[in-house]
Amino acid sequence: MTDTILIVDDNEDIRTFVKTALESEGYLVIEAGDGNAAVLSFTSERPSLVVLDIGIGQPDGFEVCRTIRTTSSVPIIMLTSRADEVDEAMCLAAGADDYIRKPVSPRILGLRVANQLRRRAPLESAEASLLHAGELTLDLLSRELRVGDAVVPLTRIEFDFIELLMQQPKRVFTREQVLNAIGGSSEFSSDHLLDTHASRMRMKIKSAGGPKVISAVRAVGYRLLYPDSE
């Protein structure tokens, strides 16, 4: 999938230069000419990386960087035409990942962008393997369920059961859908046996300090129940 890069600079010539350099590397580039437009574009487009000039008026690059950091850890490379060490320190303090002084060559800019995206890839991959629901975290790689820092021991069937529910916490799954997820036969999945698995998981989660999160929906199936799902 092509990475989208958001360029933020009030100088159209600079935006054109950066856009041309990055598009030649195969990136999809979107532009913003001021801080407010940058925040709106970031929220709507969710780019893979932001190239952000410091001197873009008000809000300036530092403020835009801090605003983005309240909701995202996306890589941010800040640009400035000033050779001031204080600027570099302020960029890092605002949450930027890298700092480039203008002018910069297309090759160096492309390498710095690629470097940040490469560093980010393992983090995104690891995060994609985690499911979160309230106090619960399910690690699909290690097949561990945690309540906070406490590990909840699960059987293979219990893990597959809770994984299904945590994929869509607000959804009610039928007994047949639970059966398919745990790989059981119709005889194995009697109401009593499924209720037994659900009950055991409730007790294990409670013993680890968690709330009652697995709810049986009469005559239908099961759902994940926790405060944030209401």
Class of the 4-128 domain? alpha beta
Say how many Å lie between the first and final Cα of the chain, rounded. Answer: 34
How far is the CA of 99 from the CAs of 18, 105, 115, in angstroms? 15, 14, 13
Show the tokens assigned to 43: 């929220």
pLDDT value at residue 187: 46
pLDDT value at residue 32: 96
**Cα angle for residues 207, 212, 218 (degrees, 5° grid):** 135
Query: In terms of Cα–Cα distance, which of 196, 193, 168, 163 is closest to 181?
Result: 163
pLDDT value at residue 189: 47
For the chain, 230 residues long, the average pLDDT of each consecutive 10-residue run is 90 94 94 95 92 94 91 88 76 87 90 87 63 87 87 87 86 85 59 84 91 87 70
Residue with tokens 């360029």: 7
- Say how many C-beta atoms besides its own lie within 10 A of residue 221's C-beta: 19
pLDDT value at residue 139: 87
Show the tokens assigned to 145: 């369920």
Domain boundaries, the chain: 4-128, 130-229
How far is the CA of 72 from the CAs of 5, 42, 48, 160, in angstroms? 15, 10, 10, 30
- HSE of 10 in the Cβ direction (CA atoms, 13 Å)? 13
Do strands 28-32 and 49-53 pair parallel, antiparallel, or not at all (unpaired)?
A: unpaired
How far is Cα 166 from Cα 85, in angstroms, rounded to an integer?
47
How far is Cα 202 from Cα 191, in angstroms, rounded to an integer?
16
Do strands 28-32 and 4-8 pair parallel, antiparallel, or not at all (unpaired)?
A: parallel
Which CATH code of 3.40.50.2300, 3.40.50.300, 2.60.120.380, 1.10.10.10 fits the domain covering 130-229?
1.10.10.10
In the DSSP assignment, the letter for residue 59 is S
How far is Cα 66 from Cα 63, in angstroms, rounded to an integer?
5
Q: Is the pTM of this model over 0.75?
A: no
